[in-house]
Amino acid sequence: MTKTLKGRISMVYFCLVLVIAMVGMVSVFNLYKLSNSINGLMTANYKSIKAVNNMIEYIEKQDHAVLTYIRVDNENGINTFIQNQRFFLDAFDVERHNITELGEADLVRQLNTSYMDYVRSFAELQEIKHRAGAVGAYNFYTADIQSKFKLIKSLLKKLVDLNEAAIFHSEDLVTKNTQKAMNFILYLSLIAVSGGFAAARFFINRFLKPVDQLKETVKLIKAGDLNRQAEVFYADEIGGLASEFNAMTKRLLQYEQSTIGKLMAEKKKSEAIVRSISDPLVVLDTNCRFLLLNEAAERFFELDEQWALDKHFLEVLHNAELFEHIVGALNSDDDDRQKMVRITANEKEYYFNVIVKPVKNHDAAENNIIVLFQNITQIKHLEKIKTDFIATVSHEFKTPLTSIIMGISLLQDEKIGTLNQEQAKTLVTIKEDSDSLSNLVNDLLELSRIESDQAIFKMQPCSVPGLVANSVKRFLDQAARNEINLYYEVEEDLPKVNADPEKIAWVLNNLINNALKYTNAGDEICVSALVRHHQMWVSVKDTGIGIPAEYQTKIFEKFVQVRSYDLEIRGTGLGLAIAKEIIEAHGGQIWYKSELDAGSTFTFILPLIEESTNEESLNRR
C-alpha cells in the first residue's frame, strides 16, 4: 500500500475508474452478445424463407413447363422442366442444410419424397403422351401430377410459415433479452455508483481524519494548552505536518517556559524596586481596587497589604478628596496629574504631592493606576520657615521704610530747611529707591500672607464692570502723561462674580500697571470684560513691547523679569506671581498671549456667581 496521501487518493481514484471501465465493458459485451443472437436467428430463418420461396417459384415454372409440354412444345417443355428442376434442387439443398426449427427436418424429408415422386410422374407423363397423345397426358396430369404439385406447394408453404413464426418468436426473444441486458446494466451501474460513492466517502473520511484531529489540537494550543501533541496517524504528508507541528509546539513550550521564568524574575525585580521606594506607592486596577502597596504605604497608612489587596480604595483609605483626584486623573487627557494633598495621620499633618499615573498596556487600554505619594512635608516646612522669615523681615522693614519715605517728603517739601540743587537731586534718587523698596516689601508681605494661609478672602457678589472702571480711572492720568490710549470695553448686563473685590482690583491694577510700564507713547491699552462658556473673562490687552517666547512658561513665577528691558522700568517681579495666587484662590485661571513688538494680552477667568460658593468669606486652603 502506498504511503503518501497523494498515492492513496490516486489509488481510490484508480479503483473507481476501474469499476466504471468494468461496467462499461460488461455493457458492451452484453450488447454484442444480444446483437449476435439477433443476427443469428434472423439470418437463418430468412435464408430458409428465401430458399423455400425460390423452390415455390421453380416448382410453379416446372408445372407451367408440364402444361406447355402437354399442349404443344415437347422439347421446350422438357428443357424448361429440367432446368427448373436443377434450380429447385439447388434451393432445396440450401434449405436442407439450414434446418433451425423444430419439425422443419420432417417437412424437408416429406418435400424430398414428394418432389422425387413429382419428377417421376413427369417421366411417366412423357410416355403417356407418346402413347395416348395430349388428351391422355392431360388426363394423367389432372389425375396424378396436379395433386402432387399441390402437395409440394403446401409443404413449401408450411416451411415458410414455420420460419416466419420463428422470426416472430425471435423478435419476442430479442425484446426479452434486450430488457434483461438493460436491467442487468442498470443494476450493475447502480451498484457501481453507490458502491463507488460509499467507498470514496469512506476513504476520504479516513484520509481526512488526521486533519480534523490536527485542527482540534491547534484549537487547544491556541487556547493556551501548549502541552497538547497532535496524533500522527500515517507517515504521509499530514503525518509529516503533524510531526512538524508537534516540534513547533515543543519549541513554543520551551520558549514560553524560559520567557515566563525571565518575566517572573523581572517582575520580582520590579516589585522589589517598587517596594523599596521610600515614598508611599500604591497600584490600583481600573476599578480602583488595590493591586499592590509598597512598604512605605503600609507603614504610613498603617495597613497590611494582604488585607488591602483587591479591596476598593475608599474601603481601605476613606479619603474622598484623594479618590476624586485619582478618578479625575483617570478621566483627564493628561498622562499624569499631580496634586498637593494634606493628610493627617497620627495626629500629625503631612503634605504629599500625589502623582497619578495611568499605565496603558500594548493596545493603549488602561489597566493599572500607579499612585505615588511624594512626601513634601519637609519642603512645606522649609517653605513656611522661609515665608515666615520673609514676612518678619518685610514687616521689620516696613516701619523704618515708612519713616524714611516720610522724612524724605519732609525734606523735599523744605519744611525743615532749604536744600541746594545737589541735595535735592540726591533726595530724588533716595526717594525712588525707597519707593521701590517699599513696593518690594509690600509685595513680599502680600505674597507671604497668601502663601502662609493667612490671607482672608472676603468673598461677595461683585460687579466686574465697576472694578474695571475704577482701575482704569486710577491710571488714566498716568496713561495721558505717557500718551497712551487707555480705555475699557465691557459687555452689557454682565452677571456678578463671587470674589474678593479688593483682591481682584489688585490683580487688575497690577496688569494695567504692567501694560503701562511696557508700552510706549502712541500705544493702546484696552481692558475688556465679557462672559464666555459660563465664566467671566477679563483681559488687559496692550500694543506694547511684548514678551519673548522663552518666558512663556515662567512669567508667573516669583522674581521672573524679562532681562532685556530697560532697568528703569523694572518692578519687583512678584506682581504676576501674586495675581496668579489670587485668581487660582478664586477657582479661576490666568494666562497670557504675547508677540514681541506687537503687544501682550493677559486674561483671567472667574466662575460666575451661580457656580461659585455663596459663603461670605473663604479661608484659602
CB of 512 vs ligand ADP, minimal distance in Å: 9
For ligand ADP, give the closer residue by CB, 127 or 557. 557
Grid cell 518692578 is found at: 571
CB of 380 vs ligand ADP, minimal distance in Å: 24
Q: Can you say how many angstroms the Cα of residue 507 is from the centroid of all Cα atoms in its chain?
A: 57
SS3 assignment for 395-408: HHHHHHHHHHHHHH
CB of 571 vs ligand ADP, minimal distance in Å: 2
CB of 605 vs ligand ADP, minimal distance in Å: 18
CB of 564 vs ligand ADP, minimal distance in Å: 9
In sequence order, the 6+-apart residues with CB closer than 8 A to the CB of 491 are 529, 530, 531
Task: Indicate the residue whose CB is closest to ligand ADP.
Answer: 571
Grid cell 480711572 is found at: 473
Please check whether residue 119 is in contact with residue 85, taking contact to mean a CB–CB distance below 8 angstroms: yes
For ligand ADP, give the closer residue by CB, 88 or 488. 488
Alpha-carbon distance 204 to 9, whole Å?
Answer: 8
For ligand ADP, give the closer residue by CB, 333 or 566. 566
Please check whether residue 167 is in contact with residue 42, taking contact to mean a CB–CB distance below 8 angstroms: yes
For ligand ADP, give the closer residue by CB, 163 or 519. 519
For ligand ADP, give the closer residue by CB, 353 or 442. 442
CB of 431 vs ligand ADP, minimal distance in Å: 18
Q: Is 203 exposed, middle or buried (0-12, 13-18, 19+ CB in 10 A)?
A: middle
For ligand ADP, give the closer residue by CB, 403 or 559. 559
For ligand ADP, give the closer residue by CB, 166 or 577. 577
CB of 357 vs ligand ADP, minimal distance in Å: 33
In sequence order, the 6+-apart residues with CB closer than 8 A to the CB of 83 are none
CB of 495 vs ligand ADP, minimal distance in Å: 28
CB of 310 vs ligand ADP, minimal distance in Å: 51
CA dist list (Å): 514 to 127, 445, 472, 546, 602: 180, 20, 13, 11, 10
CB of 580 vs ligand ADP, minimal distance in Å: 9
The DSSP result for 441-509, as a single string, is HHHHHHHHHHHTT-PEE--EEE-HHHHHHHHHHHHHHHHHHTT-EEEEEE-TTPPPEEE-HHHHHHHHH
For ligand ADP, give the closer residue by CB, 234 or 518. 518
CB of 397 vs ligand ADP, minimal distance in Å: 17
Please state, as a whole number, how many other Cβ atoms lie within 10 Å of the Cβ of residue 513.
Answer: 17
Strand ordering across the sheet containing 348-360: 290-293, 281-285, 366-375, 348-360, 337-345
Binding site for ligand ADP (CB under 6 A): 510, 514-515, 518, 542, 544-545, 547, 555, 560-562, 565, 570-577, 600
The DSSP result for 358-369, as a single string, is EEE-TTS-EEEE
For ligand ADP, give the closer residue by CB, 137 or 576. 576
Helix spans in 309-365 (H): 313-317, 320-331
Which residues partner with 608 through β-bridges? 497
For ligand ADP, give the closer residue by CB, 155 or 582. 582
Alpha-carbon distance 94 to 50, whole Å?
Answer: 10
Q: Can you say how many angstroms the Cα of residue 174 is from the centroid of all Cα atoms in its chain?
A: 71
Burial 94-120 (b: 16+ CB within 10 A, else e): ebbebbbbeebeebbebbeebbeebbe
For ligand ADP, give the closer residue by CB, 55 or 444. 444
